[in-house]
Amino acid sequence: MSTGDATYIKALNKRILIEKIIEHQSISRIELSRLTGLNRSTVSSQINHMMEEQLIIERPSEVSYGGRKPILLQINEAAGYTIGIDFDMPQTQIQIANLLGKPLANYQVQTDDEDVCKNISNVVEKVHDVLKEHRVSESPKGLTGIGIGIHGIVNNDHNIVFTPKLQWNNINMKEAFEKHFDVPIHIDNNANLTVYAEQVYHYPMEDLFSITMYSGIGLGILEGNDIYKGSQGFAGEIGHMIVERNGLQCSCGNKGCWELYASEHALKKTLKAKGYIKQSSEEFDLTEIKDTTIIEEYLDYMAVGLNNIINIFNPEIIIINSEFMHQNRHLLTSLKKRLNSRMNNYQEIVTSSLGKEACSLGGVAISLKEYYGINSLNLSHYPYFNEVGKASIS
pLDDT value of residue 4? 54
Q: What is the mean pLDDT of the chain?
A: 90
pLDDT value of residue 3? 46
Provide the 8-state DSSP code for 255. Answer: B
pLDDT tens for 259-293 read 999 999 999 999 998 888 876 667 787 888 888 99
Average pLDDT, stretch 71-84?
96
Q: Which of 124-133, 278-287, 378-387 has the lowest mean pLDDT?
A: 278-287
pLDDT value of residue 234? 78
H-type alpha helices, the chain: 3-24, 29-36, 40-52, 116-133, 173-178, 190-201, 259-262, 264-273, 292-313, 323-327, 331-337, 358-372
pLDDT value of residue 159? 84
Cα-flanking dihedrals φ and ψ of residue 11, to 5°? -65, -40
CA-to-CA distance for 24 and 153, rounded, in angstroms? 36
CA-to-CA distance for 144 and 184, rounded, in angstroms? 7
Q: Are 212 and 165 in contact (CB under 8 A)?
A: no
Average pLDDT, stretch 307-336?
94
Domains of the chain, start order? 3-75 (1.10.10.10), 78-198+356-372 (3.30.420.40), 203-352 (3.30.420.40)
Cα-flanking dihedrals φ and ψ of residue 28, to 5°? -85, 165
CA-to-CA distance for 38 and 158, rounded, in angstroms? 36
**At residue 391, does pLDDT exceed 50?**
yes
